Amino acid sequence: MGGDVDELSETDAPFSLTVPKETVVARHVDFAARIAIGYLLISIIWILASDRLVIWLLPAGNLADWVQSAKGIIFVSITALALYLVVHLYVKRLAKAREDLQAAWDQTLLGWAMAIDAREKATGLHSQRVAKLTVQLAKQMRIKPADLTDIYRGALLHDIGKIGVPDAVLLAPGPLTVEQWAIMRQHPEIGMRMLAPIEFLKNAIDIPYCHHERWDGSGYPRGLKGNEIPLAARIFAVVDVFDAVTSDRSYRSPLPTAEAMELVRGETGTLLDPQVVAAFETLMAQQARATSTR
């Protein structure tokens, strides 16, 4: 079109903001090489200088042998301490860099969640609320601390697949038609396909993919039943129901906590896992007691 835009040839490499793996590896190899070379040079200098010093001070005798052994032990001890300090400092820097990277990831995920909630205006800060409460319930159920981050991320992004749902369906003012429901029910699979290629989110997919499965097997997208449903998704389902009925929506007022808990109990064994509901009741009772004593 007028020659204003340069066309890409088939041989042009795609632009990427990712640091090539070879560059990262080269940095670590360079660091290791500097450590090894420095250690080698110090060792050679120490051996040559100390040997000559011992020979000059103690030309012969058993004492010279003992001094040779002692200086070797001293050298090994000092260099071991120096290497420990250098490696320890380097590992701390790597840990800090990893923490900063994870913080950046989580801020990005929070931005995604806020974008989803903003698109579906009636839900407000739904994603952040359910993510926080899901983690609390997971702790109540003695989920391993190492898994809590994945549960938080999965809960935060549970509706990420709605990005692929047209506004005409997502924001429909009244009940959805059969055709619209067919489109809406695709969002768990859309979410799964979006998150699966992202390495650090692979373990967080259970909630976005399975949060509409039902304990009695009547859910979607796969019709999983009972313990076939991943535990993270079963935990989230309880929180999602509770938040849905206790938050303000344009079409209804929020229910009081007591009524909401009755509704949650009513879904036990059909939509919700009875064991998770029992843990949720305990959690809510604990929170109520903590609030009343303040």
Tell me which DSSP letter residue 247 carries.
S
What's at 240, amino acid-wise? D
Residues 249-263 have pLDDT tens digits of 666 678 899 999 999
Task: pLDDT band for 59, please (50, 70, 90 cuts).
Answer: low
Residues 160-173 have pLDDT tens digits of 999 899 988 988 87
Q: pLDDT > 70: what percent of the chain?
A: 78
Please measure the distance between the N-terminal and C-terminal CA atoms of the chain and give it in whole angstroms. Answer: 70
Task: pLDDT band for 154, please (50, 70, 90 cuts).
Answer: very high
Cβ–Cβ under 8 Å, residues 154 and 204: yes
Task: pLDDT band for 139, please (50, 70, 90 cuts).
Answer: very high
User: Any idea of the CA torsion for 122, 124, 127, 128, to the nearest 10 degrees?
Assistant: -170
The answer, yes or no, to whether residue 66 has pLDDT greater than 60, is yes
The pLDDT, as a whole number, for residue 192 is 95
Q: Which residue has the higher pLDDT, 237 or 250?
A: 237
Task: pLDDT band for 291, please (50, 70, 90 cuts).
Answer: confident
Q: Which residue has the higher pLDDT, 62 or 47?
A: 47
Nearest to 215 by CA among 164, 137, 285, 273: 273
Query: How far is residue 175's CA from residue 253's CA, in Å, rounded to a whole number?
Result: 18
Neighbours of 92 (CB within 10 A): 10
- The tokens describing 150, both together, are 């994945």
The answer, yes or no, to whether residue 39 has pLDDT greater than 80, is no
CATH 1.10.3210.10 fits 120-292, yes or no: yes
Nearest to 190 by CA among 163, 170, 212, 210: 163
Domains in the chain: boundaries = 21-101, 120-292
Average pLDDT over residues 10-35: 52
The pLDDT, as a whole number, for residue 67 is 67
Q: Which residues contact 220 (CB under 8 A, 6 or more apart)?
A: 185, 188, 212, 213
Kindly report the three-state secondary structure assignment for every residue of 41-87.
HHHHHHHHHHHHHHHHHCCCCHHHHHHHHHHHHHHHHHHHHHHHHHH
Task: pLDDT band for 26, please (50, 70, 90 cuts).
Answer: low
Give the mean pLDDT of the chain.
81
Average pLDDT over residues 179-204: 93
Nearest to 215 by CA among 159, 139, 266, 180: 266
The answer, yes or no, to whether residue 124 has pLDDT greater than 60, is no
Cβ–Cβ under 8 Å, residues 129 and 147: no
The pLDDT, as a whole number, for residue 208 is 96
Cβ–Cβ under 8 Å, residues 207 and 160: no
Q: Which residue has the higher pLDDT, 156 or 93?
A: 156
Distances from the Cα of 285 to the Cα of 176, 243, 282, angstroms: 36, 16, 5
The pLDDT, as a whole number, for residue 250 is 60
The pLDDT, as a whole number, for residue 2 is 42
